[in-house]
């Protein structure tokens, strides 16, 4: 099994402390993973402009508002990638 990155481990720990449900945790981890894969870089190496570009991409693909909001909430998680933390969850 692959080793978990420090960022992912911290995010899991923080979400567990905040008592987020396992489904929410999986959703948030998946959102950050998709963000990272979209740019082909580690999420801690992406900037605020990358967050904007990713959100525009998601909207262009026809993502529903609720799905987009869930991704934005993942980015607002305290241990999310630094650039993404400025996102606001509705």
- The average pLDDT across 65-78 equals 88
| pLDDT cut 70: percent of the chain above it | 87
pLDDT digits (tens, 9 = 90+) for 28-57: 999 999 999 999 999 888 888 898 999 999
Domain ranges of the chain: 6-86
Region 6-86: CATH code: 1.10.150.130
Q: Please report the DSSP string for 36-61 in residue order.
A: HHHHTS-GGG--HHHHHHHHHHHHHT
Separation between Cα atoms, residue 12 and residue 27, nearest integer Å: 11
According to the per-residue pLDDT averaged within each range, which of 11-15, 62-66, 68-72 is highest?
62-66
Provide the whole-model pTM: 0.82
């Amino acid at each position: 099994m692959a080793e978990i990155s420090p960022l992912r481990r911290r995010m899991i720990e923080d979400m567990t402390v905040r008592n987020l449900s396992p489904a929410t945790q999986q959703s948030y981890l998946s959102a950050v993973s998709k963000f990272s894969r979209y740019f082909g870089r580690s999420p801690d190496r992406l900037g605020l402009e990358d967050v904007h570009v990713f959100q525009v991409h998601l909207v262009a693909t026809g993502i529903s508002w609720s799905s987009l909001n869930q991704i934005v909430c993942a980015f607002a998680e305290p241990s999310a990638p630094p650039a993404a933390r400025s996102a606001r969850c509705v």
